[in-house]
Amino acid sequence: MSGDGYKMLFSTGKIGSLELKNRIVMPPMVTNYATEDGAVTEQYKDYLRERANGGVGLIIVEATYIHPWGKGFVNNLGVDRDELVPGLRELTEVAHGAEVKIAIQLYHAGRQTSSKTSGYHPIAPSPIPTPGEEEIPREATIEEIQGVVEAFGEGARRAKEAGFDAVEVHGTHGYIINEFLSPYSNKREDEYGKDFEGRLRLALEVLQRIKEKAGNEFPVIYRINGDECVEGGITLEVTKRIAKRLEEAGADAFHVTAGVGESSYNSVQPMAMPRGCKAHLAQGVKQVVNVPIISAGRISHPEVAEEILEQNKADFVAMGRALLCDQEMPNKALEGEIDDIRVCIACNQKCINKLLGAEQEPIGCALNVRTGREAEFPMTKVDKKKKVLIVGAGPAGLEAARVAALRGHRVDLFEKEERIGGQINLISSVPGREEFKEVISYYQSQIPKLGINLVLNHPVSAEEIEGMSPDVVIFATGATPLLPDLPGIDSLRVVSAWDVIRGECALGERVVVLGGGSVGACTVDSLRKLGKKVTIVEMLEDIALDMEPLTRKLFMKELTSDGKVKIWTGTRISEISEEGVVVERGWEKILLRDIDNVVLALGATSNKDLIDKLAGKLRNYHIVGDAKKPRKVTEAVEEGFEAAYRI
Ligand X SMILES: Cc1cc2nc3c(=O)[nH]c(=O)nc-3n(C[C@H](O)[C@H](O)[C@H](O)COP(=O)(O)O)c2cc1C
Determine the Cα–Cα distance for residues 315 and 475; give it in Å rounded to an integer: 48
**Positive or negative: CA dihedral 372, 374, 376, 379:** positive
- Out of 177, 338, 365, 413, the residue judged to bind ligand SF4 by CB under 6 A: 365
Decide: 233 and 216 in contact? Cβ < 8 Å: no
| The entry of ligand SF4, ligand X, none that residue 223 binds, CB within 5 to 8 Å by partner kind | ligand X
Decide if residue 348 touches ligand SF4 (CB under 6 A). yes
Shortest Cβ 491–ligand X spacing (Å): 45
Decide if residue 592 touches ligand SF4 (CB under 6 A). no
| The entry of ligand X, ligand SF4, none that residue 257 binds, CB within 5 to 8 Å by partner kind | ligand X
Determine the Cα–Cα distance for residues 364 and 608; give it in Å rounded to an integer: 29
Determine the Cα–Cα distance for residues 271 and 552; give it in Å rounded to an integer: 11
Determine the Cα–Cα distance for residues 502 and 506; give it in Å rounded to an integer: 11
Determine the Cα–Cα distance for residues 356 and 552; give it in Å rounded to an integer: 14
- Per-residue contact track with ligand SF4, 367 to 406, x per CB under 6 A? x---------------------------------------
Shortest Cβ 75–ligand SF4 spacing (Å): 18
Determine the Cα–Cα distance for residues 604 and 479; give it in Å rounded to an integer: 6
Decide if residue 351 touches ligand SF4 (CB under 6 A). yes
Of 42-50, 339-347, 380-388, 393-401: span binding ligand SF4 (CB under 6 A): 339-347
Determine the Cα–Cα distance for residues 407 and 276; give it in Å rounded to an integer: 35
| The entry of ligand SF4, ligand X, none that residue 110 binds, CB within 5 to 8 Å by partner kind | none
Alpha helices by DSSP H, 259-389: 279-286, 302-310, 320-325, 329-335, 352-356
Q: Which amino acid is at 439?
A: V
Decide if residue 258 touches ligand SF4 (CB under 6 A). no
- Out of 347, 396, 398, 595, the residue judged to bind ligand SF4 by CB under 6 A: 347
Secondary structure class of 536 (helix, strand, coil)? strand
Of 42-50, 85-93, 361-369, 609-617: span binding ligand SF4 (CB under 6 A): 361-369
In this complex, which beta carbon is closest to ligand X, that of residue 30 or of residue 647?
30
Decide: 193 and 186 in contact? Cβ < 8 Å: yes
| The entry of ligand X, ligand SF4, none that residue 592 binds, CB within 5 to 8 Å by partner kind | none
Q: Which amino acid is at 243?
A: A
Decide if residue 272 touches ligand SF4 (CB under 6 A). no
Residue 353, CB-side half-sphere exposure with 13 Å CA sphere = 18
Shortest Cβ 399–ligand SF4 spacing (Å): 13
Determine the Cα–Cα distance for residues 65 and 316; give it in Å rounded to an integer: 25
Of 47, 175, 192, 442, the catalytic one is 175
Shortest Cβ 366–ligand SF4 spacing (Å): 4
Active site residue 65: no
Determine the Cα–Cα distance for residues 80 and 72; give it in Å rounded to an integer: 13
Task: Provide the binding-site residues for ligand X, judged by CB under 6 A.
Answer: 27-30, 62-63, 105, 170, 173, 223, 257, 267-268, 296-299, 318-322, 351-352, 355, 363
Of 231-239, 318-326, 388-396, 414-422: span binding ligand SF4 (CB under 6 A): 318-326
CA 357-148-74 angle, to 5 degrees, is: 20
The residues that touch ligand SF4, with contacts defined as CB under 6 A, are 321, 324-325, 344-351, 365-367
Which amino acids are annotated catalytic?
175
